[in-house]
Amino acid sequence: MAYGNFFPASYQQSFFGPPVPFYPQNQQPAQNSPQPQAAQMMTPPTIRAEIVQVDNEAAAERFPVGIGSSQMMIAKDDSAIFVKTASANGYTLDVFEKRPPAPPAPVFDPSAFVRRDEINGLISAALSASVSKSDPQRAKQEKGDDEE
Protein backbone atom coordinates (compact mmCIF):
# COMPACT_ATOMS: atom_id res chain seq x y z
CA MET A 1 0.00 0.00 0.00
CA ALA A 2 1.47 3.24 -1.03
CA TYR A 3 -0.36 5.51 1.41
CA GLY A 4 -0.58 3.28 4.53
CA ASN A 5 -3.60 1.94 6.35
CA PHE A 6 -6.65 4.26 6.24
CA PHE A 7 -8.51 2.38 9.02
CA PRO A 8 -8.36 3.19 12.75
CA ALA A 9 -5.99 1.15 14.88
CA SER A 10 -8.86 -0.76 16.53
CA TYR A 11 -9.91 -2.28 13.18
CA GLN A 12 -8.44 -5.40 11.64
CA GLN A 13 -8.39 -5.68 7.93
CA SER A 14 -10.11 -8.67 6.49
CA PHE A 15 -9.21 -9.95 3.06
CA PHE A 16 -12.64 -11.56 2.59
CA GLY A 17 -14.97 -8.63 3.28
CA PRO A 18 -15.33 -5.29 5.00
CA PRO A 19 -13.10 -4.44 7.99
CA VAL A 20 -14.12 -6.12 11.28
CA PRO A 21 -13.82 -4.18 14.54
CA PHE A 22 -11.36 -5.57 17.05
CA TYR A 23 -12.44 -5.92 20.70
CA PRO A 24 -10.01 -6.88 23.44
CA GLN A 25 -10.84 -10.14 25.21
CA ASN A 26 -12.44 -8.63 28.31
CA GLN A 27 -14.49 -5.96 26.51
CA GLN A 28 -17.80 -6.49 24.81
CA PRO A 29 -19.22 -4.26 22.09
CA ALA A 30 -21.64 -1.61 23.32
CA GLN A 31 -25.24 -2.64 22.86
CA ASN A 32 -27.85 -0.22 21.64
CA SER A 33 -30.65 -1.51 23.89
CA PRO A 34 -30.04 -1.13 27.62
CA GLN A 35 -30.40 -4.43 29.46
CA PRO A 36 -30.71 -4.62 33.26
CA GLN A 37 -27.71 -6.23 34.84
CA ALA A 38 -28.17 -8.79 37.58
CA ALA A 39 -27.46 -7.42 41.04
CA GLN A 40 -24.15 -8.70 42.27
CA MET A 41 -23.98 -10.03 45.79
CA MET A 42 -22.03 -7.71 48.05
CA THR A 43 -19.76 -9.62 50.39
CA PRO A 44 -18.08 -7.86 53.30
CA PRO A 45 -14.30 -7.74 53.20
CA THR A 46 -12.49 -10.51 55.00
CA ILE A 47 -10.02 -9.35 57.62
CA ARG A 48 -7.31 -11.77 58.66
CA ALA A 49 -5.46 -11.05 61.86
CA GLU A 50 -2.66 -12.76 63.70
CA ILE A 51 -3.58 -13.08 67.38
CA VAL A 52 -0.75 -13.55 69.88
CA GLN A 53 -1.25 -15.16 73.30
CA VAL A 54 0.06 -13.17 76.27
CA ASP A 55 0.02 -13.80 80.01
CA ASN A 56 -1.74 -10.59 81.12
CA GLU A 57 -2.25 -6.90 80.35
CA ALA A 58 1.27 -5.98 81.45
CA ALA A 59 2.71 -8.46 78.94
CA ALA A 60 0.50 -6.92 76.24
CA GLU A 61 1.88 -3.48 77.06
CA ARG A 62 5.46 -4.77 76.76
CA PHE A 63 4.80 -6.58 73.44
CA PRO A 64 6.72 -4.82 70.63
CA VAL A 65 4.57 -3.33 67.84
CA GLY A 66 5.92 -1.39 64.87
CA ILE A 67 4.95 2.25 64.40
CA GLY A 68 1.84 2.57 62.27
CA SER A 69 0.63 -0.97 62.90
CA SER A 70 -1.64 -2.83 65.31
CA GLN A 71 -1.39 -6.21 67.00
CA MET A 72 -4.19 -8.27 68.53
CA MET A 73 -3.41 -10.29 71.64
CA ILE A 74 -5.48 -12.58 73.84
CA ALA A 75 -4.88 -13.50 77.46
CA LYS A 76 -3.96 -17.15 77.98
CA ASP A 77 -6.90 -17.55 80.37
CA ASP A 78 -9.28 -16.04 77.76
CA SER A 79 -10.24 -13.23 80.15
CA ALA A 80 -9.56 -10.38 77.71
CA ILE A 81 -8.51 -9.40 74.21
CA PHE A 82 -5.97 -6.60 73.73
CA VAL A 83 -5.36 -4.46 70.65
CA LYS A 84 -2.12 -2.50 70.76
CA THR A 85 -1.69 0.27 68.18
CA ALA A 86 1.65 2.05 67.91
CA SER A 87 2.14 5.54 66.54
CA ALA A 88 4.96 8.08 66.51
CA ASN A 89 3.52 9.61 69.72
CA GLY A 90 3.42 6.33 71.66
CA TYR A 91 0.91 3.52 71.75
CA THR A 92 -2.68 2.83 72.78
CA LEU A 93 -3.89 -0.40 74.30
CA ASP A 94 -7.57 -1.22 73.94
CA VAL A 95 -8.79 -3.88 76.38
CA PHE A 96 -11.92 -5.93 75.69
CA GLU A 97 -12.82 -7.97 78.75
CA LYS A 98 -14.81 -11.17 78.46
CA ARG A 99 -18.24 -10.79 80.04
CA PRO A 100 -20.50 -13.55 81.28
CA PRO A 101 -23.44 -14.55 79.11
CA ALA A 102 -26.63 -12.57 79.54
CA PRO A 103 -29.09 -14.07 82.03
CA PRO A 104 -32.15 -15.72 80.52
CA ALA A 105 -35.27 -13.63 80.17
CA PRO A 106 -37.61 -14.00 83.16
CA VAL A 107 -40.68 -16.16 82.68
CA PHE A 108 -44.01 -14.39 83.17
CA ASP A 109 -45.69 -15.66 86.35
CA PRO A 110 -49.19 -14.17 86.84
CA SER A 111 -49.34 -15.36 90.46
CA ALA A 112 -46.59 -12.87 91.36
CA PHE A 113 -48.89 -9.93 90.51
CA VAL A 114 -51.88 -8.46 92.38
CA ARG A 115 -55.31 -8.47 90.76
CA ARG A 116 -57.55 -5.40 90.96
CA ASP A 117 -60.11 -7.14 93.12
CA GLU A 118 -57.41 -8.00 95.71
CA ILE A 119 -56.10 -4.43 96.14
CA ASN A 120 -58.75 -3.19 98.64
CA GLY A 121 -58.24 -6.20 100.92
CA LEU A 122 -54.45 -5.75 100.91
CA ILE A 123 -54.73 -2.03 101.70
CA SER A 124 -57.10 -2.61 104.63
CA ALA A 125 -54.85 -5.40 105.97
CA ALA A 126 -51.79 -3.14 105.76
CA LEU A 127 -53.60 -0.27 107.49
CA SER A 128 -54.85 -2.46 110.32
CA ALA A 129 -51.35 -3.89 110.82
CA SER A 130 -49.84 -0.40 111.00
CA VAL A 131 -52.51 0.75 113.49
CA SER A 132 -51.88 -2.25 115.76
CA LYS A 133 -48.14 -1.53 115.81
CA SER A 134 -48.47 2.21 116.46
CA ASP A 135 -51.36 2.16 119.01
CA PRO A 136 -51.94 -1.25 120.59
CA GLN A 137 -54.73 0.12 122.86
CA ARG A 138 -56.77 1.35 119.91
CA ALA A 139 -56.27 -1.95 118.08
CA LYS A 140 -57.81 -3.80 121.11
CA GLN A 141 -60.77 -1.42 121.11
CA GLU A 142 -61.36 -1.90 117.36
CA LYS A 143 -61.24 -5.67 117.81
CA GLY A 144 -63.69 -5.39 120.68
CA ASP A 145 -65.99 -3.21 118.56
CA ASP A 146 -65.86 -5.71 115.76
CA GLU A 147 -66.89 -8.57 118.06
CA GLU A 148 -70.00 -6.77 119.35
The domain segmentation of the chain, as residue ranges, is 51-97
pLDDT of res. 1: 46
Beta bridge partners of 71: 84
Running DSSP on this structure, what letter comes out for residue 78?
A: S
Task: For residue 79, give every residue at least 6 positions away whose Cβ sits within 8 Å of its Cβ, in sequence order, or none.
Answer: 97, 98
Position with higher pLDDT, 48 vs 4: 48
| CA gap 81, 57 in Å, rounded | 9
pTM over 0.85: no
Query: In this structure, how many other beta carbons lie within 10 angstroms of the beta carbon of residue 128?
Result: 13
| CA gap 53, 80 in Å, rounded | 11
pLDDT of res. 87: 93
Pair 86, 63: CB distance under 8 Å: no
Tell me the pLDDT of the chain averaged across its residues. Answer: 78
